[in-house]
Amino acid sequence: MALPGIAMALPGIAMALPGIAMALPGIAMALPGIAMALPAE
């Protein structure tokens, strides 16, 4: 019964992938800042 839902979700997942790929560099750049902020607390 779940297969139709999965099939409908696939286009959304495919559209989301470019956004995720574009977000990764930003996340990678943010990690050092987060790591430096943690000991300061």
First to last CA, the chain: 49
Q: Could you tell me the pTM of the whole model?
A: 0.48
What is the model's pLDDT at position 17?
Answer: 93
- On the question of pLDDT at 39 being above 90, the answer is no
- On the question of pLDDT at 5 being above 90, the answer is no
User: Tens digits of per-residue pLDDT, 15-38?
Assistant: 999 999 999 999 999 999 888 888
Which 3-state string (H, E, C) describes the chain? CCHHHHHHHHHHHHHHHHHHHHHHHHHHHHHHHHHHHHHHC
Residue 41 to residue 35: CA distance in whole angstroms: 11
What is the model's pLDDT at position 38?
Answer: 83
